Amino acid sequence: MYEGILMSTVISLFTFAIGVNICLGFTASRIKRAEWDEGPPTALSDSPWTNTSGSCKGRCFELQEVGPPDCRCDNLCKSYSSCCHDFDELCLKTGESHWVDDDCEEIKAPECPAGFVRPPLIIFSVDGFRASYMKKGSKVMPNIEKLRSCGTHAPYMRPVYPTKTFPNLYTLATMTNPLREIDKTVGQLMDGLKQLKLHRCVNVIFVGDHGMEDVTCDRTEFLSNYLTNVDDITLVPGTLGRIRSKFINNPKYDPKAIIANLTCKKPDQHFKPYMKQHLPKRLHYANNRRIEDIHLLVDRRWHVARKPLDVYKKPSGKCFFQGDHGFDNKVNSMQNKLEELNKRLHTKGSTEVFFAAVEVEHGPFSDQAEVSSIPEHLTHCVRPDVRVSPAFSQICLAYKNDKQMSYGFLFPPYLSSSPEAKYDAFLVTNMVPMYPAFKRIWTYFQRVLVKKYASERNGVNVISGPIFDYNYDGLRDTEEEIKQYVEGSSIPVPTHYYSIITSCLDFTQPADKCDGPLSVSSFILPHRPDNDESCNSSEDESKWVEELIKTHTARVRDIEHLTGLDFYRKTSRSYSEILTLKTYLHTYESEI
């Protein structure tokens, strides 16, 4: 019965995790028996229509959708309770075991029916399938759990920012039933593949596009509580707020003034305003004219709206949503799921998380590193670097002429391991321009946090350097694109500074003698003349600097794009391990 079915090379399915209604589709070509030896058909019109109302004889899995009062024999008839009376007998081969009940198989080569040039790929995508839903296990999702246990899986994938397709208005508390319906559809798919003798042929990938988070109207920030007039702006509301002028070429619209009126106005404020060029670089969300100038990063489980009438239903006053997505993609609840049943690679196993100028190397710093004092006569002195021609070298006079600019060191002299190394750290090539406000951050990072990390991790290796990204495209600027210099000099002012901290994953091993996997944390810190991003920046650095640094966590790969450098090159470690290090993002978030 099924020998006349030829599946297309790619089958795509898409479902929505917003309720029990599951939308599913597939493409196939039915081959006439008389044409079996003449090659595959060229169009769906080659499929004959057999009008046998009331029976599935010759109609199993037909592509045409039959409307009432006729019964159906397609793969959705079970979902709509419209199957012909003999659908189970003729189409489902009653008596065969379900795919989910079979044991896992190790198939070293695909076993496809005649006519297949290559194994097809089925992509099953679920909107809003949060990675933690897999914790419900086989009791709720036996078919999806079998895909995971018999195939290859990753604990999660990190979606791009913003983590949205469109708002999904559903209740997390009633999520079990939709998950069961999705799992039921996966089971129907796999049973159908088994009946068509394709379950040892096709590759199946089960993915979600992003996660979900519990959000209600009670946890909503209204801009009307901060701005005197919200009718002249357009806000893209929800889990990320983007603001633009309501009117084109409005001379009164001033993004910087709006930012000032939204910055640190309440002690319990649940969003943080940014000009788009100041957003964390890991978001890759700035260099496009369609991206609004003002962006609000909203706290987890919170929404932002212009005013209450934009959120509550009229006239009932009821909230019309209880869950949403779109938050910062480092938030674990936004992570989505990846399962793969790939017959050509391997059937069982797991993988790691599925991703996306001057260089000074520090260390390695041992866990015993001490912050020693610097002789007073050296604190305002630097040495020329004989490796650099005087014509291209910095001079201290430049910093004396620029009252808005100070300088700092990429390698902190006070972490030197010997007096000789300490003097070498005062080379002029280790000196970089820094705003006084940023120097507070950089000094605390070097004096306190690096020492703390070295103590916790049994030593660390640190690489730091400047970044120039004046057009905020996430790529290294050319010399012509650099817009700011130390006054009266040719010393370019960086837009950011980066730091890469590498240690042994096994903290019992020192960083410089690690024979196991490595661990990495990296940061891209914005170099700004103020610290307005942190509302409590007037307090001691111990109260806010580390939190700010964690906000600007990044991947090593992001730093490579912004500097043109290639890290971890001189190593005997495997390519896959280095790739994992470069694409890893330390989120500092709680477990999923």
Distance CA 231, CA 261 (A): 15
Strand partners, 166: none
Q: How far is CA 190 from the centre of its chain?
A: 30
Map residue 460 onto helix, strand or coil.
Answer: strand
CB 416 within 8 Å of CB 517 = no
- What are the Cα distances from residue 335, in Å, to 162, 169, 213, 240, 493? 12, 18, 10, 16, 36
The secondary element (H helix, E strand) that includes residue 127 is strand 121-127
Distance CA 503, CA 508 (A): 11
The string of DSSP codes covering 415-449 is: G-SSHHHHHHTTBGGGEEEE-HHHHHHHHHIIIII
Map residue 485 onto helix, strand or coil.
Answer: strand
Distance CA 356, CA 30 (A): 40
Query: Is 94 one of the annotated active-site residues of the chain?
Result: no
DSSP 237: -
Map residue 141 onto helix, strand or coil.
Answer: coil
The token pair that represents 154 in the structure block: 């990753």
Identified catalytic residue from 52, 165, 379, 508: 165
CA quadruple 580, 581, 587, 588: dihedral sign? positive
Distance CA 401, CA 80 (A): 78
Distance CA 339, CA 355 (A): 14
Q: Considering just the CA atoms, what is the radius of gyration of the chain in Å?
A: 30
Nearest to residue 582, comparing CAs of 553, 560, 550, 552? 560
Q: How far is CA 14 from the centre of its chain?
A: 21
Which residues are marked as active site? Answer: 165
